[in-house]
């Protein structure tokens, strides 16, 4: 019987879980009592009370500091004398001596006039800050925990924004999130009103301590509550401050760093504390170890939950107490684990071997070996995956060959066009002078002939055909010249208006209605105005010839959907172009016009001009329903 990969994995997991779980359950049912767990939870609840007291003590310390600082005489004197330099220096001394990250002074309207840490960043309005607004309106001293956006941290100093920035680290059991980084910071912030000698409000002093990567509080909790006791080399107790569900200050150890900054709380705790706003006490997985932990929400001045205060005791200490009670079952446990290990290894090898072959095949494919195939044997889903891989490799090889053929064709086409251009230039230069002589002498002969001379019609035919040859030569020279555009910033609408003013009075357009649909908000484009006018003129005249009578030509401009280019659309109501000719209209000398009405070089020259502008020109047409040319010009010259 063929066993699928899914069945193999299920059997593997069941084998390990049943063998290990059965032994553990038999022992645990008899020996695990509720007393140890209850004792641990009671202790951690008491520890949380102590941590809360330490945290609130720091809030009160910052609040008291701001209250006393706001009463100092030098503030009133410096404000009255407008001695900002002395005021900045004194506030910076206070900030450093009291270990504050932020200390600033506003006027009575909430506009910052002194910022101790970053003296150059003043003049911004802090009146919208909830805490400062309450202080200015009530005159009280207020302290709270707040979230400070990155832009506000940058005002206080780039180093604070850098200190607050934390990149998320994958954490087992954490709630799934699309966020990858935290740029704002959490701060213990206080503010106090500053009154003048006459009792009038003259400003407000605010300051705070950024909690991100500030370990003073959590380390104080650890030293006060757990007294630095270790168990098997690990801290028996830990403390953490969360901003939302993100660890911003902790003494929990990470896997690769000394502190697990950037890791997140488990989803179970997230729902209980941050969503429902209730304390959580129990067994919790913290970064990489199990703890008997206690969590409670941290709220801002408006009672919104913005973070979590956590303390935890290493569960390992309590689990070891239980292990001593089950020592008599150690032999059974070891035997069961050994069997589980052997079984898991055997089953894992059966799954991993074909996967390794697929990995090696993928590496060969990445190196360019498109002929490599995976040997397959009918069986489970991995065999189906191998067959799919082989089919993918075959498809890649086929597409690679097609791409090479297409590339070769394009190279050959480019070489032919280059050769044709060189040939056209040489031929044009060689016949231009004798052709000019033919025209000159033909015109002289016409001037000498009388109106009734029987040879006059023949000479007129010579003049007409020589003139047509001169037009062909001029087209050849334009096609071969390939002049690089002299670009400058120009308005497409102005170029179109200039073009239409030159052509709309021509006889060819007398019965043709020209409709303008220009977008008025287009940015300027880097282009050669003369060359682009030549392109627009050629397309409009071709449209008029296609109409050959009464009809309409609509000229429209717009921003491209990707906002990286401008599109100019020319839509006519003419006879249209057959599908078999759409792929040839930009080829040199291709024309469907009658002999004497075109050289077949106009669109080829136009195409070359647009390409040299890094743009594109597309055409859509249906016989009997008209033709639409769309010219796309990039906004940037290097696009």
Query: Is residue 227 one of the residues assigned to a domain?
Result: yes
Q: How many CA atoms lie within 13 A of 70 on its CB side?
A: 31
Residues of the domain holding 523? 484-634
Q: Report the interhelical angle of 5-31 vs 330-366 (nearest 10°).
A: 150
pLDDT, mean of residues 134-155:
94
Q: Tell me: do 195 and 145 sit in the same domain.
A: yes
> pLDDT-based confidence at 136, cuts 50/70/90?
very high
Other Cβ atoms closer than 10 A to 162 = 12
Last residue of a domain, one of 456, 481, 506: 481
Categorize the per-residue pLDDT at 34 as very low, low, confident or very high, splitting at 50, 70 and 90.
low
Question: Confidence band (pLDDT; 50, 70, 90) for 20?
Answer: low
Give whole-number Cα distances, 336 to 29, 111, 291, in Å.
18, 71, 26
Asked whether residue 136 falls in the same domain as residue 10, the answer is no
308: which strand partners? Answer: 242, 297
Whether 414 is in a domain gets the answer: yes
Same domain, 46 and 8: no
Residue 222 has pLDDT above 60, yes or no: yes
Asked if 332 and 381 sit in the same domain, the reply is no
Q: Do 471 and 559 have their domain in common?
A: no
- How far apart are alpha carbons 279 and 284 in whole angstroms? 13
Q: Inform me whether the pLDDT recorded for 51 exceeds 80.
A: yes
Residue 411 backbone dihedrals phi, psi, to 5 degrees: -65, -45
Tell me the pLDDT band of 612, cut-offs 50, 70 and 90: confident
Residue 621: pLDDT over 60 = yes
CB-facing half-sphere around the CA of 79: CA atoms within 13 A: 25
User: And the tokens for 84?
Assistant: 């900002």
Kindly tell me the number of DSSP H helices and DSSP E strands found in the chain.
Answer: 17, 21
22 pLDDT exceeds 70?
Answer: no
Q: What's the mean per-residue pLDDT of the chain?
A: 82
Average of pLDDT values for 158-181?
91
Q: pLDDT band at 160, cuts 50/70/90?
A: very high
Is residue 148 very low, low, confident or very high in pLDDT (cuts 50, 70, 90)? very high
The answer to whether 27 and 324 are in contact (CB under 8 A) is: no
**pLDDT at site 275:** 94
| 87-101, 351-365, 387-401, 413-427: least confidently modelled range | 413-427
Residue 483 pLDDT more than 60? no
Specify if 639 maps to a domain: no
- Residue 474 has what pLDDT? 62
Highest mean pLDDT, choosing among 167-181, 314-328, 407-421, 459-473: 167-181
Does some domain include residue 293?
Answer: yes
Provide the percentage of residues in the chain whose pLDDT is more than 90.
35
The per-residue DSSP string of 247-311 comes to EEEE----SSSSS-TT-B-BHHHIIIIIIT---EEEEEEETTEEEEEEEEEEE-TTS-EEEEEEE
- On the 0-12 / 13-18 / 19+ scale of CB atoms within 10 A, 395 is exposed
Q: Are residues 216 and 107 in the same domain?
A: yes
Examine the domain organization and report whether 263 and 118 are in the same domain: yes
pLDDT greater than 60 at residue 413: no
Residue with tokens 């998320």: 168
> Which H or E element spans position 488?
strand 488-490
pLDDT of 75 strictly over 70:
yes
Distance CA 609, CA 617 (A): 10
Residue 610 lies in a domain: yes
User: pLDDT for 312-328, tens place per residue?
Assistant: 998 888 777 767 666 66
Q: Classify residue 484 by burial, with Cβ atoms within 10 Å: 0-12, 13-18, 19+.
A: exposed
| CA proximity to 166, closest of 231, 260, 251 | 260
pTM over 0.85: no
Most confident of 166-175, 372-381, 448-457: 166-175
pLDDT surpasses 90 at 154:
yes
The token duo for 353 is 């071997």
448 and 551: one domain? no
pLDDT band at 595 (very low <50, low <70, confident <90, very high): very low
DSSP 4-20: PHHHHHHHHHHHHHHHH
Based on the fold, state whether residues 186 and 52 are members of the same structural domain: yes
Q: Please tell me the total count of domains within the chain.
A: 4
Let me know whether 352 and 383 are in one domain: no
DSSP state of 111: B
Same domain, 84 and 228: yes
Q: Return the CATH number at 433.
A: 1.10.287.130
Query: From CA 69, how far away is CA 75, in angstroms rounded?
Result: 8
Distance spanning both ends of the chain, measured CA to CA: 60
Residue 353 has pLDDT above 80, yes or no: no
CB–CB of 16/347 below 8 Å?
no
345 and 419 belong to one structural domain: no
User: How confident is the model at residue 219, as a pLDDT?
Assistant: 93
Q: Token pair for residue 420?
A: 């044709």
Give me the mean pLDDT over the 413-440 stretch.
Answer: 65
Task: Write the pLDDT tens digit of every residue in 170-203.
Answer: 888 888 888 899 999 999 999 999 998 888 999 9
Tell me the CA distances in angstroms from 544 to 196, 509, 540, one per residue in order. Answer: 83, 6, 6
Q: Is the pLDDT of residue 440 over 50?
A: yes
Give the per-residue pLDDT at 529.
85
Residue 404 placed within a domain: yes
| Segment 244-257 mean pLDDT | 86
* Of 363 and 336, more confident: 363
The rounded Cα 168 to chain-centroid distance in angstroms is: 17
């Amino acid at each position: 019987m063929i066993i699928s990969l899914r069945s193999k994995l299920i059997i593997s997991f069941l084998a390990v879980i049943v063998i290990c779980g059965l032994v553990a359950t038999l022992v645990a049912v008899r020996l695990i009592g509720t007393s140890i767990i209850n004792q641990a939870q009671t202790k951690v609840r008491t520890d949380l009370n102590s941590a809360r007291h330490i945290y609130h003590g720091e809030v009160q310390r910052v609040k008291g500091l701001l209250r006393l600082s706001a009463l100092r005489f030098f503030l009133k004197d410096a404000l009255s004398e407008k001695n900002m330099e002395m005021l900045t220096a004194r506030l910076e001394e206070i900030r450093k001596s009291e270990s504050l990250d932020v200390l600033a002074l506003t006027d009575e309207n909430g506009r910052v006039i002194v910022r101790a840490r970053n003296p150059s960043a003043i003049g911004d309005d802090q009146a919208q800050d909830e805490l400062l607004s309450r202080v200015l309106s009530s005159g009280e001293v207020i302290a709270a925990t707040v979230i400070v956006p990155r832009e506000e941290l940058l005002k206080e100093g780039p180093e604070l924004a850098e200190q607050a920035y934390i990149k998320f680290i994958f954490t087992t059991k954490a709630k799934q999130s699309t966020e990858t980084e935290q740029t704002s910071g959490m701060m213990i912030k206080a503010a106090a009103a500053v009154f003048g000698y006459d009792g009038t409000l003259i400003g407000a002093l605010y300051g705070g301590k950024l909690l991100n990567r500030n370990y003073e509080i959590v380390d104080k909790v650890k030293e006060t509550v757990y007294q630095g006791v270790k168990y098997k080399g690990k801290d028996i107790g830990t403390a953490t401050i969360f901003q939302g569900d993100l660890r911003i200050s902790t003494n929990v150890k990470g896997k690769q760093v000394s502190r697990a900054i950037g890791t997140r709380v488990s989803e179970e705790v997230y729902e209980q504390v941050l969503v429902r706003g209730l304390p959580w006490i129990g067994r919790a997985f913290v970064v990489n170890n199990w703890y008997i932990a206690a969590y409670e929400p941290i709220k801002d001045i408006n009672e919104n939950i913005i973070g979590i205060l956590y303390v935890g005791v290493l569960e390992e200490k309590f689990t070891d107490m239980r292990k001593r009670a089950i020592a008599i079952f150690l032999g059974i446990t070891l035997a069961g684990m050994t069997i589980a290990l052997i079984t898991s290894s055997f089953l894992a090898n059966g799954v991993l071997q074909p996967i390794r072959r697929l990995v090696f095949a993928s590496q060969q494919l990445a190196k360019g070996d498109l002929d490599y195939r995976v040997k397959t044997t009918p069986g489970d889903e991995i065999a189906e995956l191998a067959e799919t891989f082989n089919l993918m490799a075959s498809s890649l090889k086929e597409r690679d060959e097609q791409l090479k053929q297409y590339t070769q064709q394009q190279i050959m086409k480019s070489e032919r066009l280059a050769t044709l251009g060189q040939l056209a230039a040489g031929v044009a230069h060689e016949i231009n002078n004798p052709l000019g002589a033919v025209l000159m002498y033909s015109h002289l002969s016409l001037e000498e002939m009388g109106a009734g001379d029987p040879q006059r019609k023949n000479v007129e035919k010579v003049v007409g055909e020589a003139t047509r040859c001169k037009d062909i030569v001029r087209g050849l020279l334009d096609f071969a010249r390939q002049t690089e555009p002299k670009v400058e910033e120009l308005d497409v609408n102005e170029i179109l208006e200039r073009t239409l003013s030159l052509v709309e009075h021509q006889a060819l357009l007398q019965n043709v209605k020209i409709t303008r649909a220009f977008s008025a908000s287009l940015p300027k484009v880097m282009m050669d105005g003369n060359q682009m006018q030549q392109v627009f003129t050629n397309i409009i005249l071709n449209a008029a010839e296609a109409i050959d009578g009464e009809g309409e030509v609509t000229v429209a401009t717009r921003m491209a959907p990707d906002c990286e280019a401008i599109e100019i659309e020319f839509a006519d109501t003419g006879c249209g172009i057959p599908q078999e000719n759409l792929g040839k209209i930009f080829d040199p000398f291709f024309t469907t016009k009658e002999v004497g009405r075109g050289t077949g070089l106009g669109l080829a020259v136009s195409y070359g001009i647009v390409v040299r502008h890094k743009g594109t020109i597309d055409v859509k047409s249906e016989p009997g329903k008209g033709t639409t040319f769309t010219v796309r010009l990039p906004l940037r010259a290097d696009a």
